[in-house]
Amino acid sequence: MSVKKALISVSDKTGVVELARQLNELGVEIISTGGTASLLKQEGVPVIGISEVTGFPEILDGRVKTLHPNIHSGLLAVRADEAHRKQLEELNIQPIDLVIVNLYPFKQTISKPDVTYADAIENIDIGGPTMLRSAAKNHQDVTVVVDAADYATIIAEIKDAGDTTLETRRRLAAKVFRHTAAYDAIISRYLSEQVGELMPESYTVTYEKAQDLRYGENPHQRAAFYRQPLGNEGTISSAEQLHGKELSYNNINDADAALAIVNEFTEPAVVAVKHMNPCGVGIGATIKEAYEKAYAADPVSIFGGIVAANRPIDEATALLLKETFLEIIVAPDFTPEALAVLQEKKNLRLLRLSTQGSAAVPTSFKLTTVAGGALVQDFDTKQIEASDLKVVTERQPSEEELKQLLFAWKVVKHVKSNAIVLANNNMTVGVGAGQMNRVGSAKIAIEQAGELAKGAALASDAFFPMPDTVEAAAKAGITAIIQPGGSVRDQESIDACNRHGIAMVFTSVRHFKH
């Protein structure tokens, strides 16, 4: 047996008693601390107290117990180094061959709504990470385990050969450093937020794997889905999949986009998304009416799309949804009758998001990677009300036009720039996305709307650099426009609106989305 002595000190005690019992049966001596030692003794597993090894009591309410040369020399000594072996013998320090440690529950502590700063600080583990790092550094000789999922592997290898393999020790060491890095990242973020350092000199983030994906945007790209460890409520990463195939990379991106748009609305709303752009958005007195409008907005593009609703899906709505090929439906819930209808479609993914709603405001920053770096910014959660608008034309918008303008504005915020959205009768009737010039997006939206452009409201995500978009709108019969304003040539667009009797309002807010 190469593994003769193990140190076990865990906060999460899942499986630890059985592990310790098996190690004891294999003749491994067990050193333990605090609550772990008490539990193992209670369960009849022989344990050597940490103070017996250090010759020093646990002090400062347990803050100091493993931070001692007798522990860390036993972890860091290189077994093949004669000088190291000699020093251990002279100081009567015994090597520690196996370390089983997990850390104080800092993440769980700060997740509590009533957590105090003092509670958070007290749950920052010091001795645990130090032991883990010491053992992981010396993984040539020491096996270190931070995850209960690895208990079976190490027991099997020790039973088979008296020790773990070097390959296993290297894999577990890498896992330890990932674990301690993630642990420190959460602490760093919490403390930085407490002092208002939101974009500090170094930016460290951590995510936890939710699932492996078959591939990324394209089959030749590797991919996985990670969730942030805190603040997941109301996001796709917290959704419960009730039915259907495994989610893909593109599914997750599109579902996230659909959810962001539908959360703009408080009234019953449905959003259909293709390639992260809305192809149809509708609001109504019921979720069924909202879906009918979203579908009518673009019955061609919705095919193979993602649908998000902000109300539970009932049977009547489910019967309509079933008629179209969809990839995903995201909703706060599904009635049993609706589930029965939709589950008839074998591959249709159904996601339940019980905390969905406008309260699900992102608590983190938006991170976009570029070659060699990353861009960090706030999520665009800016909203406007009617009172924020400035009428800049001779004609005031009517009450109905104002309603459609605000509706279109909520949607255009989520369309790839350059973006134009036309709205009429509480639904999108035309969407122009991602064009290199604004009038190009307008022409696409107007062409899609056809006759429905007459009397419609037009929203632009950024100002008009020239009046050509207004002229195209007037020709199509659009009667009201909402845009940020701010161009040096604003007056030309205002004059064009006045000539054609179009009401135009400025928001003083831009919504570029690249």
- The residues near 507 (Cβ < 8 Å, ≥ 6 apart) are 384, 388, 389, 390, 409, 482, 483, 484, 485
CA distance 97 to 141: 7
Q: Are 504 and 408 in contact (CB under 8 A)?
A: no
Identify whether 137 is a catalytic site residue.
yes
SS3 for 210? strand
Identify whether 275 is a catalytic site residue.
yes
Q: Which of 5, 137, 322, 345 is catalytic?
A: 137
Residue labelled with tokens 């920053």: 365
Q: Which of 5, 84, 275, 403 is catalytic?
A: 275
Helix axes 82-91, 69-76, angle to 10 degrees: 160
CA distance 22 to 403: 69
Burial status of residue 199 (CB atoms within 10 A of its CB: 0-12, 13-18, 19 or more) = exposed
Around Cβ 114, how many Cβ atoms within 10 Å?
5
Around Cβ 361, how many Cβ atoms within 10 Å?
12
CA distance 494 to 91: 87
- Nearest Cα to Cα of residue 258 among 240, 241, 282, 242: 282
CA distances in angstroms from 196 to 111, 120, 222, listed in the order given = 19, 17, 37
- Nearest Cα to Cα of residue 453 among 496, 421, 485, 492: 421
- The residues near 52 (Cβ < 8 Å, ≥ 6 apart) are none
Query: What does the DSSP assignment read for 180-192?
Result: HHHHHHHHHHHHH
Supply the residues annotated as catalytic. 137, 275
